[in-house]
Chain A
Amino acid sequence: MKRLTMLAAGLLFSAGVLAGAADNVSVQDPYVRLAPPNAAATAAFMVIRNTGDKDVKVVKADNPVSKATELHTHLNEGGVMKMRPVPAIEIRAKGEAVLRPGGLHVMMIDLKAPMKEGDSVPITLTFDDGSSKQVDARVVKATAAPVPTEHRQH
């Protein structure tokens, strides 16, 4: 029931912010790394393209499978990996932001239930003008080349 309410609210909300930054943004190859059973956290990756003439920022991400969703990056300082929350992910006009292992990612913390390979996780990206976009990210088991070949554009 709660989920339904959230969905309804989400639909109303997205209808109200048509013609925002979200319209100029496309997302390619979104995927969630399959977390080990009972792992507390995992990450989602994707390529976010901005076809518009204005810079766009992703200021928030949400998803229904983890209690918290954050924007994070990794700094590699002399071989020491430092994961840090970032306030926003900027996508330049006509540019792209690449979220990939070892760098920027959507951090999913406190997973509510174990996920399965092939599950689809709806991730909502909210932009700095308040518009938002939902992408369906497939759950993929991590290998050395984790980017799925399949294009799932929304």
Chain B
Amino acid sequence: MSERILSVIAVLLAALVLGLTFFWHPELPERPLPLAAMPEGGDFTLQSADGPVALRDFRGKVVLLYFGYTYCPDICPTSLAATSEGLKELAPDELARVAVILVSVDPKRDTPARLKEYARFFHQAIVGVTGTPEEIAAVAKRYGAFYAEQKVATAGDGYVVDHSADTYIVAADGKLAGKIAHATAPDQVAAIIRKYLYQP
């Protein structure tokens, strides 16, 4: 009799263990991103008002990459202002090892000269570049950035450009290392830049 009770308990316990194994998945506080989720990134050359700009030229520096456009009245200024405020928190020797590239997602309207003026307004370290629609599409694709021209009823030439607003971080070795989310506070931007400046 007691043997039967024991075996019933054993079966119940086994069921409990199995149930927990299959159905209980506690959330880890921080899940590492699978490697496959990181786009390939890689070198590119686009045009600035002062000539061609190649990502390769910045090897040894941490490069922040932002995809935006100069007709953008709000999202891009918010991102670029946070980036420039973050840059201002860096020491001069740190700032010397950081570059920021603004890639236009509106090559129809953004001339290199206009991009230069727009980028400089935020920070001297920001260089604005553009290229043919095909060149820009190829770079955006490799970095996982999204943009699309949308026809809307607006006086701004009848279109706006939808775009992802994260800032990409390219490490000193030229590899895409991470992203800074849109509207990240300047002190955090500075902390993230430092993390990549001082990583072994």
Q: Do A and B bind each other?
A: yes
Contact B154 A143 (CB under 8 A): no
Cβ contact of A79, chosen from B71, B121, B164, cutoff 8 A: B164
Contact B183 A102 (CB under 8 A): yes
B200 interfacial contact with A, CB 8 Å: no
B180 → A minimal CB distance (Å): 12
Stretch at the interface among A18-26, A51-59, A81-89: A81-89
Contact B118 A107 (CB under 8 A): no
Residues of chain B at interface, number, CB under 8 A: 35
Over the window 25-56 of chain A, the binary record of Cβ atoms lying under 8 Å from chain B Cβ atoms (1 yes, 0 no) is: 00000000101111111110000000000000
Cβ–Cβ < 8 Å partners of A33 in chain B: 73-74, 77
Contact A38 B152 (CB under 8 A): no
Q: How large is the interface on A (under 10, 10 to 19, 20 to 34, 35 or more residues)?
A: 20 to 34
Cβ–Cβ < 8 Å partners of A105 in chain B: 73-74
Contact B155 A70 (CB under 8 A): yes
What DSSP secondary structure best describes chain A's contact surface?
strand
B33 interfacial contact with A, CB 8 Å: no
Over the window 99-112 of chain A, the binary record of Cβ atoms lying under 8 Å from chain B Cβ atoms (1 yes, 0 no) is: 00110010111100
Contact B160 A35 (CB under 8 A): no
Cβ–Cβ < 8 Å partners of A35 in chain B: 73, 77
B35 interfacial contact with A, CB 8 Å: no
Q: Interface of B with A (CB < 8 Å)?
A: 70-75, 77-78, 81-82, 85, 109, 114, 117-118, 120-122, 146, 150, 152-156, 160, 162-166, 182-183, 185-186
